[in-house]
A and B are shown apart, each in its own frame.
Chain A
Amino acid sequence: EAGVVQSPRYKIIEKKQPVAFWCNPISGHNTLYWYLQNLGQGPELLIRYENEEAVDDSQLPKDRFSAERLKGVDSTLKIQPAELGDSAVYLCASSFTGKNTEAFFGQGTRLTVV
């Protein structure tokens, strides 16, 4: 069974440029998460989807970050414009809906803004 697939694995961009990350969750998982992981820190939730609805986006900096999950499967996270402080690993995870479930993580996209 394929796991959570993210692309690209690495991205280097200049500040003020836009960037997008893509995630394909595990088949059948209705819940999709985007997390941000800074060096030496634990993952921090940016947004959580139940199917195509964003049910928790309270930690998403909406002035420059946006996300979508149009058909309730794949998701895209965008930053426009990127800032130096956005350099981090962006993780996507998915799970079945409900409390007693575990989240499965992708490899992440390591973003470097120069």
Chain B
Amino acid sequence: AQSVSQHNHHVILSEAASLELGCNYSYGGTVNLFWYVQYPGQHLQLLLKYFSGDPLVKGIKGFEAEFIKSKFSFNLRKPSVQWSDTAEYFCAVNGNTDKLIFGTGTRLQVFP
């Protein structure tokens, strides 16, 4: 069965600090990978996605993620966070079906 692990439950950073959120999945076949963001009071929005091709994926608002197949990982990065990046971040995966499985989420707080 597919599963997703996000090891950082709560991350606190100052503005301009670099960010890396971990995401590991368990599934032996071909996967599609996603990072979603949920700003306070708003709905889940797609940050970036990986289907195939270049394992380094660039998304909106300066975020990027790298798919490392050998490590079953899809970590999210941003070189310099802003206060407006305060949100909850969810990694998600689907394997050979359209069933989208989410991790438990990482709450990011950025202080000015």
Q: Known contacts A100-B51, A108-B43; is A56 also within 8 Å of B34 by CB? A: no
* Contact of B98 with A48 in the complex, beta carbons under 8 Å: yes
Question: Does B24 sit within 8 A of A, measured CB to CB?
Answer: no
Q: Known contacts A102-B46, A102-B49, A107-B43; is A31 also within 8 Å of B104 by CB? A: no
How many positions in chain A have a CB within 8 Å of any CB in the partner chain?
27
* Contact of B43 with A102 in the complex, beta carbons under 8 Å: no
Residues of A within 8 A of B42 (CB): 107
* Contact of A56 with B104 in the complex, beta carbons under 8 Å: no
Q: Which of A31, A56, A91, A95 makes the CB contact (< 8 A) with B44?
A: A91
Q: Which of A41, A45, A98, A107 makes the CB contact (< 8 A) with B100?
A: A45
What residue of chain B has the Cβ atom nearest to residue A97's Cβ? Answer: B98
CB distance from A102 to the nearest CB of B (A): 5
Max chain B C-beta neighbours (<10 A), residue from A33, A42, A107: A42
Q: Which of A42, A48, A99 makes the CB contact (< 8 A) with B105?
A: A42
* Contact of B43 with A105 in the complex, beta carbons under 8 Å: yes
Q: Which residues of A from 47 to 97 have beta carbons under 8 Å from B?
A: 48, 56, 91, 93, 95, 97
* Contact of B104 with A103 in the complex, beta carbons under 8 Å: no
Known: A42-B92, A42-B104. 20 other contacts (CB 8 A): A4-B43, A33-B100, A42-B4, A42-B6, A42-B102, A43-B102, A48-B98, A91-B43, A95-B98, A98-B98, A99-B96, A100-B32, A102-B46, A102-B49, A104-B46, A105-B43, A105-B45, A106-B43, A107-B43, A108-B43
CB-CB nearest 5 A-B residue pairs: A42-B102, A105-B44, A107-B43, A100-B51, A43-B102
Instruction: Write the residues of chain A forming the contact surface with B, with a CB cutoff of 8 angstroms.
Output: 3-4, 31, 33, 40-45, 48, 56, 91, 93, 95, 97-108
